[in-house]
Structures are given as structure tokens and as C-alpha cells.
């Protein structure tokens, strides 16, 4: 036994090395990737996280609203979703106590509202994503003297309604003005 | 011998839940974390938990990794040898869903399709603290 081992064992007798975990919380080290969580206020429902997830732990189902769900039972906590999210809505927190009795309960869900088609009323596109794209086009619209409402009338129509002849002529007129 | 009253037995079991660790063909990440939870730093043993080599001595089966075709039947046999009431812990995301191995040729289905599972501990791998938390949750079921 060398001297260092003896010193270490004496030190261990004076101050115990065991972590007092269940009585006191044990914070994980810096940069630890815990359970991913969605921010429902920031998420636009684009689905980039579901597309990039190597495990397929993030699923997107479209019903009356778009529901984005991450199942921790399939998650590998790699953080790809956090890297790829354009709105920084996904964040890997430092929470790690995920033990559950029902495996389907180990998940985080958020719901994104759909935009309704202005002519047929069908829900066709996540509303926050449409809003975000308008925001990005703001400068170009101002340059061309096109009002926000004008574009909104054209873009708030579902793909099926866009193929109708009356819509088509309206669109052509807009493009002529634009170009 | 007269059988002991049931309340006493379950109380004693909660005081000393013996664990058998069954690796079922994962990447060994979770196995290392299970062993780390038993070492002096995290010290699961101060709660009376002891690691046992035989399923006949165990109360808790700590299963890690996706279940492979090779280990499937052996796992069933190990499960049958554990005296009841028994608790099965699925440790790591692999045991819960298969994770990266889910499309592999040797994957024999997630753990809960082979033996009944009581508690799931997600993580890749779960931290030793998460495993301790899982054991503490499982003990409420004994």
C-alpha cells in the first residue's frame, strides 16, 4: 500500500465521500443533457426536431391541432433537436429523475394551433409558423409597397382551394404586381 | 414452519431489497451506471440493497439493454426463478423501446413484451441517482 492510498483512506474516515443523494438533490455537472422540454410559447410546429431525431422519439400527429410529443423511453438525449430548432423552443434541461410506472407517461406534449383556410375553413397549416414567415417577409413587403393583409389573403388559403380558377387569377395578378 | 404474517414480510423486503443485475445485450453504458450506483460514491447498499448473483435470492431484477434473440429465453428462465413478489426494473431507454437497436436483426422486442415490467427508468444511460430514484419508487410497490 503506498502512502497516497493511506492518506486517501484517512481522509475518507474524516469526511465521508458518499453523496447524500436522496436526502439532498444532486445537481448534474455542467453541460449535462437531461430530459428535453418544449416551450409551447416559442414552438411554431415546423417539425424539424421530429425529422432530425435519430431515434424517432419525437412524433408529430395532426388532428384538430398539431401535437408534438417526445417520448423519453426512446430518447437518447443526444441534443440534436436542440441544435436544429430554428426558434430555440426545445431545450435539454438538467432533470434526470424520470422513473415511471407507465412508460407512456414518460413524455412531454405540446399542441400547436392550426390556421383555418379562409375560403373552405379547413385547418391546414400551423398558425405560428405562418405568422413567423410573414414576419420574415416584412422588409421585402415594405419595399414593394404590398400590405400585410394582401399577402395574408393569398397565403391563408389551403393548397386544395389554391387550385380553383378564381384563386388562380388572383394569384397571377399578385405575382405580376410583385415582379 | 408457520408462514410469517404478510405485512411483516413486505416490510422486511422494503428494508433489504436484493437486486440481481441482468445485462441483456446493450452497449454496457447502463451496466456501468448500475454498478456505479452500488459503489461507495452513490452507495445504494446503505438502503439494504445487495447485489446478488442468483435470481433465487433476488427481489428486484434490474434489466438493462435491449433484449436480444439469444438472451430472450434465458431471461424468461431467470424471471421464473425469482421468488414472488418480484419487481422488474427496465433500466435505460434500450430496455424500454429498443432505441438504436430497435431495427436490428438480433432485437427480440422491448423488455415489457417478454416479461412484465414494474418500473421504467429512461436515460441513455440513466445517472446512478436516477437508478436510486427508480429503486426508491419501486419499493413502494413491494
- Please, are residues B115 and B75 in contact by the beta-carbon 8 Å criterion? yes
**Residue A52 and residue A72 in one domain:** yes
Distance of CA A82 to the CA centre of its chain: 8
Q: Could you give the CA distance from residue A50 to residue A148 in angstroms, rounded to a whole number? A: 31
Does any domain span residue A10?
no
Could you give phi then psi for residue A33, rounded to 5 degrees? -100, 100
For chain A, what is the domain count?
2
The three three-digit cell numbers of residue B107, written as one number = 432485437
Average predicted confidence (pLDDT) for chain A: 87
Whether residues B41 and A17 touch (CB distance < 8 A) is answered with yes
Q: Residue B49: is its pLDDT beyond 60? A: yes
**Residue A97 and residue A129 in one domain:** no
The three three-digit cell numbers of residue B64, written as one number = 438493462
**Residue A88 and residue A129 in one domain:** no
Count chain A–chain B contacts defined by CB atoms under 8 A: 87
Which residues of chain A lie closer than 8 angstroms to B141, CB-CB?
101
Q: Could you give the CA distance from residue A146 to residue A155 in angstroms, rounded to a whole number? A: 14
Give the closest-approach CA distance of B45 to chain A in angstroms.
11
**Residue A64 and residue A104 in one domain:** yes
**Structural domains present in chain B:** 17-139 (3.40.50.12280)
Residue of B43, B112, B127 with shortest CB distance to A96? B127
**Residue A120 and residue A102 in one domain:** no
Whole-number pLDDT of residue A154: 79
Residues 58-117 of A with CB under 8 A from B: 71-77, 96-103, 106
Q: Could you give the CA distance from residue A70 to residue A79 in angstroms, rounded to a whole number? A: 12
Whole-number pLDDT of residue A139: 83
Whole-number pLDDT of residue B75: 95
Whether residues B124 and A76 touch (CB distance < 8 A) is answered with yes
pLDDT digits (tens, 9 = 90+) for B55-90: 999 999 999 999 999 999 999 999 999 998 889 999
Does any domain span residue A36?
yes
Q: Residue B32: is its pLDDT beyond 60? A: yes
Please check whether residue A31 touches B, CB under 8 A.
no
Strands (E), A76-165: 90-92, 107-112, 114-116, 123-126
- Any residues with CB less than 8 A from the CB of A57 and at least 6 apart, and which? A70, A71, A72, A73, A74, A75, A76
End residue of a domain, out of A75, A95, A112 = A112
Question: β-strands B60-64, B87-91: how paired?
Answer: parallel
Q: Residue B4: is its pLDDT beyond 70? A: no
The predicted model scores a pTM of: 0.86
- Please, are residues A171 and A162 in contact by the beta-carbon 8 Å criterion? yes
**Phi-psi category of residue A39: left, alpha or beta, with phi > 0 → left and psi -120 to 50 → alpha:** beta
Whether residues A103 and B136 touch (CB distance < 8 A) is answered with no
**Residue A46 and residue A81 in one domain:** yes
User: Hey, how many other C-beta atoms are within 10 angstroms of the C-beta on B31?
Assistant: 20
Please check whether residue A20 touches B, CB under 8 A.
no
Does any domain span residue A169?
yes
Does any domain span residue A6?
no
pLDDT digits (tens, 9 = 90+) for A2-27: 899 999 888 888 888 888 888 888 89
DSSP code per residue over B3-42: PPPHHHHHHHHHHS-EEEEEE-SS-SHHHHHHHHHHSTTT
Interface test with chain B among A74, A80, A94, A102, by most B beta carbons within 10 Å: A74
**Residue A76 and residue A126 in one domain:** no
The range of the structural domain enclosing residue A62 comes to 30-112
Does any domain span residue A101?
yes
Q: Could you give the CA distance from residue A13 to residue A53 in angstroms, rounded to a whole number? A: 47
Q: Residue B3: is its pLDDT beyond 80? A: no
Which residues of chain B lie closer than 8 angstroms to A24, CB-CB?
none
Whole-number pLDDT of residue B71: 94
CATH number of the domain within which A107 lies: 3.30.70.3270
Which residues of chain B lie closer than 8 angstroms to A28, CB-CB?
127
End residue of a domain, out of A89, A112, A135 = A112
Q: Could you give the CA distance from residue B118 to residue A6 in angstroms, rounded to a whole number? A: 44
**Residue A55 and residue A86 in one domain:** yes
**Residue A151 and residue A130 in one domain:** yes
Strand, helix or coil at B120? strand
Place of cell 424468461: B76
Please check whether residue B45 touches A, CB under 8 A.
no
Interface test with chain B among A73, A76, A100, by most B beta carbons within 10 Å: A73
Interface test with chain A among B123, B136, B138, B141, by most A beta carbons within 10 Å: B123
Whole-number pLDDT of residue B2: 60
**Residue A88 and residue A119 in one domain:** no
Amino acid at each position: 500500500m503506498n502512502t497516497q492510498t493511506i492518506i486517501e483512506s484517512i481522509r475518507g474516515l474524516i469526511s465521508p465521500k458518499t453523496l447524500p443523494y436522496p436526502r439532498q438533490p444532486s445537481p448534474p455537472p455542467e453541460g449535462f443533457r437531461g430530459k428535453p422540454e418544449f416551450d409551447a410559447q416559442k414552438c411554431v410546429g415546423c417539425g424539424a426536431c421530429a425529422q432530425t431525431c435519430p431515434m424517432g422519439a419525437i412524433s408529430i400527429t395532426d388532428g384538430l391541432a398539431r401535437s408534438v410529443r417526445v417520448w423519453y423511453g426512446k430518447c437518447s438525449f443526444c441534443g440534436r433537436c436542440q441544435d436544429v430548432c430554428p426558434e430555440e423552443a426545445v431545450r435539454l434541461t438538467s432533470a434526470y429523475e424520470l422513473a415511471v410506472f407507465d412508460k407512456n407517461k414518460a413524455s412531454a406534449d405540446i399542441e400547436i394551433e392550426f390556421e383555418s383556410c379562409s375560403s373552405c375553413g379547413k385547418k391546414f397549416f400551423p398558425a405560428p409558423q405562418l405568422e413567423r414567415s410573414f414576419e420574415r417577409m416584412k422588409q421585402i413587403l415594405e419595399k414593394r409597397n404590398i400590405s400585410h393583409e394582401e399577402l395574408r389573403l393569398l397565403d391563408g388559403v389551403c393548397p386544395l382551394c389554391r387550385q380553383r380558377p378564381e384563386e388562380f387569377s388572383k394569384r397571377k395578378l399578385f405575382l405580376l404586381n410583385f415582379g | 414452519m408457520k408462514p410469517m404474517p404478510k405485512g411483516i414480510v413486505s416490510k422486511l423486503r422494503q428494508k433489504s431489497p436484493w437486486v440481481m443485475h441482468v445485462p441483456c445485450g446493450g452497449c454496457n453504458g447502463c451496466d456501468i451506471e448500475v454498478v456505479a450506483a452500488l459503489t461507495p460514491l452513490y452507495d445504494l447498499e446503505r438502503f439494504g440493497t445487495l447485489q446478488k448473483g442468483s435470481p433465487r435470492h433476488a427481489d428486484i431484477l434490474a434489466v438493462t439493454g435491449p433484449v436480444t434473440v439469444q438472451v430472450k429465453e434465458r431471461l424468461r428462465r431467470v424471471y421464473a426463478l425469482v421468488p414472488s413478489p418480484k419487481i422488474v426494473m427496465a433500466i435505460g431507454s434500450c430496455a424500454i423501446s429498443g432505441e438504436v437497436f430497435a431495427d436490428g436483426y438480433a432485437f427480440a422486442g422491448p423488455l415489457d413484451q417478454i416479461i412484465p415490467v414494474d418500473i421504467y427508468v429512461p436515460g441513455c444511460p440513466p445517472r446512478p441517482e436516477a437508478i436510486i430514484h427508480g429503486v426508491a419508487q419501486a419499493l413502494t410497490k413491494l
